């Protein structure tokens, strides 16, 4: 099976939230309640256990070339965020039960019947994607529509996207498409456009993302970390400290016993 | 109305003909992936935002230098409950006590044997209590067994579950068979000794469990937190053993042991602070808010515990006060680190700024650029 993924081009996103709705509908995700956040047109806030696609709305006092809004220096940035299906997935490497697996499509999948709700994947994800539902006790996230792509169908969000902002397909094809789009934008003068997380060279901390993005502002503006790292890359140092600490503990115990000896045995 | 043809009543058939309700209700069954979620409370599932906590138009979290998305957290907060920091303390005590028991067994004299037995008792009780605390966080006992389904070396949670399960089992065997004769006795001894060796990783892995996460405060203290936890475990085990009645003879072992542990704990706590302060935004929870209060309390108690214990004079009240202070300090430190991690997860700048400073992937891969290919000083709006 070839490697599948998403290419999300933020420059053509119109913020219609069709992807959010399609995802909720196909996967029959539970309702989150009705809340007014007051944060632009974003009433969802972030990705979570029952939100697997999330459209971010960034309002910024900077014009985009070729856009006229009539309200002065202003531009919209919208992007549909999703689980990145990382090449080195923090959630997968953290899961102690083997509930999180890599599928034949190279995506990252949580098996709900195996997950025991320890919540370790939640803190293992450097993007804050996966979450445990408090009243369900298990961790949930985007499956990249594992049930659809197995039947040769397109994931619900990509199918519903009216502007082709979300494109699903073979990773090689997506990479080529993204490179072409980037060249096109640069030639139009949008020189701030760049690809986020395309491959290991582009984002060494995750080994590249199967769901990567074309953005035109700093990652932080979209709530994406600028230099994420799978925590296990640094775990060696912590285990090293444990080794040193073990020597110290043993030395303290042995030393105390030797000091307490009187030679009266 | 039933889905199967055979069981519908005459009334069903009448209605179906008259109002066109010939829909198979089975079609309405939820079968999508997410439909497995059991929902009991809508709003609890999405508590992050709630109703407007502040007037959004007054909200100024973003600056050109350090933007964020509506000031929302960039990563998820840990979902653990208070039994987890409690476990961080109890597990450490159990590990350190078992190890001291082993040292006395191997190197000690005959008159120290009751102390060794008390060490093993404390170790075994600690292991059992630890398992109980973990199960309380997971929700039901079978889930602890589920943790032993696989062994995954990249997951300290998996490594730790195995260490805890093995040390609990071996310690129990050691306690039951330790005094038998013959083959059984040897088995008991070997089991007890193995459990004691596992005590060292048991006291240390709890720190790695926190270090191996995306939470800024926990990830950035990975060089020192394990040493702090292990020192603190020795100090608390020494203090708890000293609080229990013991003979003059045993005090000669306990005193150097707990003093060394207390001194190491005070030094390592300072090292943890220095480690976190490499990025000021990351260290902030150690001085502010609930976690800041807990951390300062714990530092004061630990230091006082060390000083009072080290003062000349061997009155019982003095030593009891010192050991109480040390224990309170060690417990408060676990809760401070736990709540500090939650606070640093809530603050998006604690995630973003260290990464711009080169504390993200750049620290291990040497690629000193962020994902947008731009260094920290890159001026915001480029679009002209
Ligand atoms: S984005 Fe997070 S949840 Fe998704 S695969 Fe990567 S680590 Fe796992
Ligand atoms: S919560 Fe479930 S999926 Fe996440 S690490 Fe624990 S067992 Fe694995």
DSSP classification of residue A39? B
Substitution target from A97, A123, A215, A219 for chain B, most B beta carbons within 10 A? A123
Query: How many angstroms does the Cα of residue A169 sit away from the middle of ligand 2?
Result: 28
Query: How many CB atoms lie under 10 A from the CB of residue B297?
Result: 16
What integer pLDDT is reported at residue B256 of this predicted model?
Answer: 95
φ/ψ bin of A217: left (φ > 0), alpha (ψ from -120 to 50), beta (otherwise): beta
φ/ψ bin of A40: left (φ > 0), alpha (ψ from -120 to 50), beta (otherwise): left
- Closest residue of chain A to B98, computed from CA coordinates: A253
Question: CB within 6 Å of ligand 1 — which residues?
Answer: A 83-86, 89-91, 108, 125, 127, 129-130, 141
Query: How many angstroms does the Cα of residue A262 sit away from the middle of ligand 2?
Result: 52
What integer pLDDT is reported at residue B377 of this predicted model?
Answer: 40
What integer pLDDT is reported at residue B380 of this predicted model?
Answer: 31
What integer pLDDT is reported at residue A264 of this predicted model?
Answer: 58
Which letter, b or e, does each residue of B312-340 get, where b requires 16 or more Cβ atoms within 10 Å of its Cβ?
A: eeeeeeebeebbebbbbbbbbbbbbbbbb
Specify the higher pLDDT residue, B31 or A114: A114
Q: What rounded mean pLDDT belongs to chain B?
A: 86
CA A261/CA B246 separation, integer angstroms:
16
Question: CB within 6 Å of ligand 2 — which residues?
Answer: A 94-95, 97, 99-100, 110, 115-121, 132, 139
Query: How many angstroms does the Cα of residue B84 sit away from the middle of ligand 1?
Result: 24
What integer pLDDT is reported at residue A184 of this predicted model?
Answer: 94
Give the ligand whose atoms come closest to the C-alpha of residue A95: 2
Lowest mean pLDDT among A135-144, B92-101, B372-381: B372-381
- Closest residue of chain B to A96, computed from CA coordinates: B158
CA dihedral B268, B205, A121, A108 (to 10 degrees): 120
List Cβ neighbours of B119 (8 Å cut-off, separation of 6 or more): B97, B98, B100, B101, B104, B237, B241
CB of B78 within 8 Å of a chain A CB? The answer is: yes
What integer pLDDT is reported at residue A171 of this predicted model?
Answer: 96
Query: What is the nearest CA distance from A76 to chain B, expressed in angstroms?
Result: 12
A96-103 long-range contacts (CB < 8 A, ≥24 apart) are A96/A120, A96/B147, A96/B150, A96/B152, A96/B155, A96/B157, A96/B158, A96/B161, A97/B146, A97/B147, A97/B149, A97/B150, A97/B158, A98/B149, A98/B150, A98/B152, A99/A139, A103/A146
What integer pLDDT is reported at residue B3 of this predicted model?
Answer: 46
Residue B198 has pLDDT above 60, yes or no: yes
Mutational test site, ligand 1, from A82, A88, A91, A128, max ligand atoms within 8 Å of CB: A91
Residues of A with Cβ-Cβ distance to B221 under 8 angstroms = none
CA A209/CA A202 separation, integer angstroms:
10
Confidence band of B23 (pLDDT split at 50, 70, 90): low
Which tokens in the block code for residue A85?
A: 């299906």
Coil vs helix vs strand at B376: coil
List, for residues B309-326, the tens digit of each pLDDT value: 999 888 899 999 999 999
Query: What is the nearest CA distance from B270 to chain A, expressed in angstroms?
Result: 16
Closest partner residue to B154 among A93, A140, A227, by Cβ? A93
CA B139/CA B160 separation, integer angstroms:
18
Q: Per mean pLDDT, which of A67-71, A216-220, B361-365 is the most reliable? A: A216-220
Mean of the pLDDT values across residues A219-230?
93
Confidence band of B57 (pLDDT split at 50, 70, 90): very low
Closest residue (by CA) to atom 3 of ligand 2? A115
Residue B6 has pLDDT above 60, yes or no: no
Segment 227-286 of chain B within 8 Å of chain A by CB: 227, 229-231, 233-234, 250, 252-254, 256-257, 260-261, 264
Distance of alpha carbon A168 from its chain centroid, rounded?
A: 16
Query: What is the nearest CA distance from A170 to chain B, expressed in angstroms?
Result: 22
Residue B132 has pLDDT above 50, yes or no: yes
CA A9/CA B218 separation, integer angstroms:
34
CB pairs under 8 A between A and B: 397
Substitution target from A227, A231, A232, A250 for chain B, most B beta carbons within 10 A? A227
Segment 135-164 of chain A within 8 Å of chain B by CB: 135-138, 140, 143, 146-147
Substitution target from A76, A83, A118, A221 for chain B, most B beta carbons within 10 A? A118
List, for residues B161-194, the tens digit of each pLDDT value: 999 999 999 999 999 998 888 899 999 999 999 9
Give the ligand whose atoms come closest to the C-alpha of residue B147: 2
CA dihedral B93, B98, B100, B101 (to 10 degrees): 140
The pair phi, psi for residue A10, each rounded to 5°, is -70, -20
List, for residues A117-149, the tens digit of each pLDDT value: 999 999 999 999 999 988 788 999 999 999 999
Nearest ligand 2 atom to alpha carbon A98:
8
What integer pLDDT is reported at residue B55 of this predicted model?
Answer: 44
List, for residues A8-65, the tens digit of each pLDDT value: 999 999 999 999 999 999 999 988 777 777 788 888 888 999 899 999 999 887 777 6
CB of A41 within 8 Å of a chain B CB? The answer is: no
CB contact under 8 A, A118 and B157: yes
CB contact under 8 A, B49 and A93: no
Residues of B with Cβ-Cβ distance to A224 under 8 angstroms = 74, 371
Closest partner residue to A96 among B67, B157, B208, by Cβ? B157
**Are A96 and B161 contacting, i.e. CB atoms less than 8 angstroms apart?**
yes
Closest residue (by CA) to atom 6 of ligand 2? A118
What integer pLDDT is reported at residue B323 of this predicted model?
Answer: 96
Substitution target from A90, A252, A255, A258 for chain B, most B beta carbons within 10 A? A252
């Amino acid at each position: 099976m070839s490697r599948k993924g998403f290419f999300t081009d933020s420059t053509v996103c119109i913020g219609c939230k069709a992807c959010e709705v399609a995802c909720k509908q196909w996967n029959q995700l539970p309702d989150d309640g009705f809340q007014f956040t007051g944060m632009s047109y974003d009433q969802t806030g972030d990705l979570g256990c029952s939100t697997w696609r999330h459209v971010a709305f960034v309002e910024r006092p900077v014009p985009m070339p070729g856009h006229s809004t009539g309200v002065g220096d202003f531009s919209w940035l919208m992007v549909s965020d999703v689980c990145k299906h990382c090449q080195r997935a923090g959630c997968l490497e953290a899961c102690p039960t083997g509930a999180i697996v890599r599928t034949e499509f190279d995506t990252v999948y949580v098996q709900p019947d195996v997950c025991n709700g320890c919540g370790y994947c939640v803190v293992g994800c450097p993007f804050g994607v996966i979450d445990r539902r408090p009243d369900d006790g298990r961790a949930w996230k985007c499956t990249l529509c594992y049930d659809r792509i197995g039947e040769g169908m397109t994931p619900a969000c990509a199918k519903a996207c009216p502007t082709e902002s979300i494109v699903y397909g073979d990773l090689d094809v997506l990479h080529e498409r993204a490179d072409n789009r980037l060249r096109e934008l640069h030639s139009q003068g949008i020189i701030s456009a760049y690809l986020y997380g395309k491959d290991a060279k582009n984002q060494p901390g995750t080994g590249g993302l199967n769901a990567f993005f074309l953005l035109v502002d700093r990652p932080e503006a979209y709530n994406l970390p600028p230099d994420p790292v799978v925590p296990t890359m640094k775990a060696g140092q912590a285990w090293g400290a444990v080794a040193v600490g073990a020597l110290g503990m043993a030395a303290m115990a042995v030393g105390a016993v030797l000091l307490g000896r009187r030679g009266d045995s | 109305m039933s889905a199967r043809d055979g069981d519908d009543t005459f009334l069903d058939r009448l209605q179906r003909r008259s109002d066109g309700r010939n829909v198979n209700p089975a079609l309405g069954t939820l079968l999508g992936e997410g439909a497995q979620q059991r929902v009991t409370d809508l709003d609890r599932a999405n508590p992050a935002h709630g109703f407007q906590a502040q007037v959004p138009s007054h909200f100024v979290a973003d600056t050109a230098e350090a933007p964020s998305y509506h000031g929302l957290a960039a990563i998820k907060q840990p979902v653990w409950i208070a039994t987890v920091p409690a476990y961080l303390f109890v597990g450490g005590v159990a590990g350190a006590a078992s190890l001291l028991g082993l040292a006395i067994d191997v190197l000690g004299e005959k008159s120290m044997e009751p102390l060794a037995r008390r060490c093993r008792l404390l170790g075994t009780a600690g292991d059992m209590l630890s398992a109980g605390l973990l199960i309380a966080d997971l929700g039901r006992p079978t889930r602890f067994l589920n943790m032993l389904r696989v062994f995954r070396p990249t997951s300290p949670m998996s490594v730790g579950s195995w260490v805890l399960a093995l040390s609990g089992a071996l310690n129990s065997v050691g306690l039951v068979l330790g005094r038998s004769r013959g083959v059984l006795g040897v088995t008991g001894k070997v089991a007890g000794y193995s459990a004691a060796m596992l005590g060292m990783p048991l006291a240390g892995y709890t720190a790695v469990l926190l270090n191996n996460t995306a939470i800024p405060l926990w990830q950035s203290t990975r060089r020192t937190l394990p040493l702090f936890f292990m020192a603190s475990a020795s100090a608390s085990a020494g203090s708890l053993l000293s609080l229990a009645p013991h003979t003059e003879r045993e005090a000669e072992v306990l005193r150097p042991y707990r003093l060394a542990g207390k001194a190491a704990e005070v030094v390592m706590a300072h090292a943890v602070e220095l480690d976190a302060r490499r990025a000021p935004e990351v260290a902030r929870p150690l001085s502010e808010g609930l976690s800041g209060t807990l951390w300062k309390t714990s530092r004061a108690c630990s230091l006082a515990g060390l000083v009072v214990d080290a003062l000349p004079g061997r009155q019982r009240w003095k030593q009891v006060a010192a050991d109480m202070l040390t224990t309170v300090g060690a417990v408060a430190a676990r809760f401070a680190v736990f709540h500090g991690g939650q606070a640093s997860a809530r603050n998006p700048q604690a995630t973003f700024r260290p990464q711009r400073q080169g504390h993200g992937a750049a620290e291990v891969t040497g690629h000193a650029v962020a994902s947008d290919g731009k260094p920290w000083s890159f001026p915001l709006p480029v679009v002209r």
